[in-house]
Structure 1
């Protein structure tokens, strides 16, 4: 469920098909720059009801699977 929501957000933001996004898709593959990452972070916070995602945690996220696993951990808290 988390992956599907993330794929939909990425598809909308980067103009790609959600079906083309996998757990191994990197944000670099999507052509994301630092502004895109900030916008994605805000969209993820809104979608999942999170506040102020930790920048230190986010620095280690480079592929979609990293983000999904991060969200699973945050949502369990």
Structure 2
């Protein structure tokens, strides 16, 4: 597993989205539906 896949796995778990929905250009808020607390949780994970 490379770094990008690991990061996608963490983001998918924290935000409850599918890994396939996460793209390098995805915005946490606009594309993945995260709020400010979700963003903090991703950073802390």
Q: Tell me the TM-score normalized by structure 2.
A: 0.77
Name the structure 1 match of 2:5. 4
Provide structure 1 residue ranges, at least 5 long, that are not aligned to the other structure. Answer: 44-77
Cα distance in structure 2, aligned partners of 1:12 and 1:34:
16
Kindly tell me the number of residue pairs found equivalent between the two proteins: 43
Name the structure 2 match of 1:27. 28
Find the partner of 2:38 among 27, 33, 36: 36
- C-alpha displacement of 1:33: 1.2
Cα distance in structure 2, aligned partners of 1:14 and 1:38:
11
Q: Tell me the TM-score normalized by structure 1.
A: 0.50
Provide structure 2 residue ranges, at least 5 long, that are not aligned to the other structure. Answer: none
Runs of 4+ in 1 over 2 A off after TM superposition: none
Of structures 1 and 2, the one scoring higher in RCO (CA 8 A, sep 6+) is 1
Q: Considering only CA atoms, is the larger Rg found in Structure 1 or Structure 2?
A: 1
